[in-house]
Chain A
Amino acid sequence: MTTATQSAGGPGTTTSAAPAVIEATHITRVFPMASGQVTAVADISLTIAPGDHLAIRGPSGCGKSTLLHMLGCVDTASSGTLLFNGRDVATLSDRDRSLLRLTQIGFVFQRFFLLPMLTAWENIELPQAESGVGKAERRERTRELLDYVGLGKRAGHRPSELSGGEMQRVAIARALANRPRLLLADEPTGELDRTTGDQIAALLDRVNADGTAMVLVTHDPSLADRCQRVLTMRDGRVESETTR
C-alpha cells in the first residue's frame, strides 16, 4: 500500500531543504466593480513547501477562494509576485499556465465537477491523456488511483451512479492523476454529510502524508484542525497563522 500511495500521492516526502512549491509575495487581487474597486485579497505573503498541509479559514467573502485561485494559477494577482517552482506565474502565457496546472497542480472542487458523460475511470484518465501519458501507463495509473481512493469496483460507473462521497473520491483521484506537486481543495467536504466528510478528510490526509503539498479552503473547523498550518483570513488579509 505504501508504494502505491506514494506514487499516487506525489513525488516524495517533505524535506526542509527542498525548494518551495509556491512563494507568494505581497499578492493583492482587486476586482473592478460598477460601484468601485473591491479588494478581495490584500497584500498576502505566503510560502508553501513540498509536503505542507495548509488550511485557509475565514468567513464568507473574506477572500479564501480568491487566494486559492491565485495559488492555483487560475487567477492572476493584481500586484505582488507569485512564484511556482521558482517561476514567476505572471510571466507565463495562458498556454504555459494551463500546462503548469495540468502537470503540477491538482484541483478538488466543492461540487466535484466530474464530467457526467464519462465514467469514473474516464474522468481519472482524462488529465493524463491531455498531458500525453501513454495508454498503458494511463491504464496502470488509473487502476492504481481507483484502488487508492477505494473505488476499484466502481470504475465503470458514471457520476450519476455514485454517491457524493464517491464522486469526491473520484475527483481526488483525478486531481492526483498527473502526480501534482500541489493539491488545492476548495471546500472539499462542503457538499457532504459529516461521516462522508470525515472519510474524505482522512483520504486527503493520506494524500498529504504521501508527500503532496496541500492547501484547503474550508469553513469546517474539524477539517482545518487536521492541517499542519491554519491561515485565518478576514477582509482579504491574513488575520492569523497557526502552526501545529
Chain B
Amino acid sequence: MNAIPFAWRSLRRQPARAALGILGVAAVGALLFDMLLLSNGLVLSMRDMLDRAGFDLRVTATDALPGQGPRLPKGLATAQAIAALPTVQAAMALRFADATLEVPGRAPLESGFQGVGGAGIRPWTVLRGRELATAGDVLINENVARTLGVEPGATLRLRPTCAGNDSLPAQTVTVAGVAKLPFDTLTAATVIASMETMATACGGDDSGDADLIMVGSRPDAEGNAGSDAAARAIAAAVPELKVLTNEELVGRLERGGFSYFRQISTVLTTVTLSFAVLLITVLLTVSVNQRLGDIAALRALGFSRGRVVSDVLSESGLIVGIGGLLSLPLGWGLAQLLDVILKRIPGLPAEAHFFVFAGEAVALHIVLLAATAVAAALYPVWIVARLPIAATLRNEVVS
C-alpha cells in the first residue's frame, strides 16, 4: 500500500475531522479562487467588451482617456478621412453631451446624449424598431423606453446641454428604435442621434466636432487583426492626434482605478492562504500527535523516515486536493453572487463583470493550493521526521 491509499485510509479513520478539513479548504479555496478571478476580472471583461464592440482603435485629441479630454475639431471629417485609409474598415465619430427628455404626463428624464457620424460598424444592437435613418431620428436605450413609456415611432422632446449651454430650445425627435449599448451602466439613460441631428439640437455652431473617433481596422491577408498597421497609418495621416489600441486602453485602465482590485485581491489572497495553511497545519498536527505511537511502531517495523513523511504529505495533499476541487464550483457560484452585488457600483457598464473565468486563474489556484498543502504539512512532517522511535514507544506504554 503506497502513501496515497495509506493516507486515504488515515483520513477515513477520522471521517468527521477529515470532512471538516476538506470543507474548510473548500471554503477557503472558494474565496481564494474568487480573489484570483477578481484580480483580473474587470480588465478581462473590459477587454472583451471593447473587442465585441467591433472597434479596435480609439483616436482622441490628447492622451486623456476617451471622453475626458478636449474635442477633436472637425472630427466627423477626420473620421471620414481615416475610414478611407486602406488598413481601416470603418471609422465612427462620437460626441458626448447631456439632454433632458420630456414626454407629456411623465417626469423629465436626464440622459446621456451621443452623436455619431461616419459609415460602417455600429457598436450598439437595435432591439426593437430600426436604425437611425433621417434627421430627427434617435435611438434610445431600454431605461429610457421604460422610464418614459416610449417605443419606436413615438416622439419626445429633447432639450440638450451642449458645451455647458443648458438654455438651448427643446427639439422634437422621433424614436427610431430601442438599442442596447455595450458601455451603458445599469441605470444609464442614453439617447443616440446622428451628428447632424445633434448639431441641430445644439444650435448648429459646432457641426462635426467629436470627442472620439472609434476605428475598426481591416484584417490582413491572413485574417490577423490589423490594429498595428491601422494605428501606424492613422498616426501618419493625422500626426497631431493620439491613437489608442484596445490593449493600450485596457493597460491604462489596469494602471488606473482597476489596480485597486488587484491590490485588494493580493491582500485577501495572502490572508486566505494563511488561513488555509493554519487550518490544515492544525488538523494534521492534531492527527499526527494522536498517532505518534502508530508512527513510531511503523518506524520500528522498518518503515523509512521518507515513507512516514510522504504519508503525512499525502494526507495534506488529499485534504487540499479534494477541498480544492470542491472550491472551484463553490467559488464560481459565490463569484456570480458577488458579481451581482459589485455591479451595483455606480458608473460601471452593465455588461462589465468583476469575475471572469480564466484558465490562468484556475492554474494559479492549483499552484497556490499545492504550495499550501506542502507548507501546511511542514510542521507535522518535521514532527514525524524527528520522531524518536524508542522514546515514543516507551512514552506510549508509560502513558
For chain A residues 114-148, which have a beta carbon within 8 Å of chain B?
A: 115-118, 122, 125-127, 129-131
Inter-chain contacts of A175 with B (CB < 8 A): 301
Inter-chain contacts of A178 with B (CB < 8 A): 302
How many Å lie between the Cα of A209 and that of B63 in the bound state?
A: 96
Q: Is the CB of A95 within 8 A of B304?
A: yes
Interface segment, one of A16-24, A50-58, A67-75: A67-75
The 0/1 profile, CB within 8 Å of B marked 1, for residues 82-119 of chain A is 00000000000011001111110111011101011110
Q: Is the CB of B10 within 8 A of A74?
A: no
The 0/1 profile, CB within 8 Å of A marked 1, for residues 1-29 of chain B is 11000000110110000000000000000
Q: Is the CB of B393 within 8 A of A117?
A: no
How many Å lie between the Cα of A116 and that of B389 in the bound state?
A: 19
A181 lies within 8 A of chain B by Cβ: no
Q: Is the CB of B396 within 8 A of A117?
A: no
Checking B1, B299, B390 against A129 with a beta-carbon cut-off of 8 angstroms, the contacting residue is B1
In this complex, how many residues of chain A approach chain B with their Cβ under 8 Å: the count is: 37
The 0/1 profile, CB within 8 Å of A marked 1, for residues 318-343 of chain B is 00000000000000000000000000
A28 lies within 8 A of chain B by Cβ: no
The 8 closest A-B pairs by CB, nearest first: A102-B302, A113-B297, A75-B390, A101-B302, A69-B390, A117-B13, A117-B9, A74-B389
Question: A-side interface residues toward B, CB under 8 Å?
Answer: 65-66, 69, 72, 74-75, 94-95, 98-103, 105-107, 109-111, 113, 115-118, 122, 125-127, 129-131, 174-175, 178, 186-187
Question: B-side interface residues toward A, CB under 8 Å?
Answer: 1-2, 9-10, 12-13, 293-294, 296-307, 389-390, 393-394, 396-397
Q: Write 24 A-B pairs (CB below 8 A) sorted by A numbering.
A: A66-B394, A94-B304, A94-B305, A98-B299, A98-B302, A98-B305, A99-B302, A101-B300, A101-B301, A102-B302, A102-B303, A103-B302, A105-B302, A107-B297, A113-B293, A113-B297, A116-B294, A117-B10, A122-B1, A127-B302, A130-B303, A130-B307, A131-B302, A186-B397
Besides A74-B299, A109-B300, 18 other A-B contacts (C-beta < 8 A): A65-B390, A65-B397, A66-B390, A74-B300, A74-B390, A95-B304, A95-B306, A98-B303, A98-B305, A102-B302, A111-B397, A113-B296, A115-B294, A127-B302, A129-B2, A178-B302, A186-B397, A187-B397
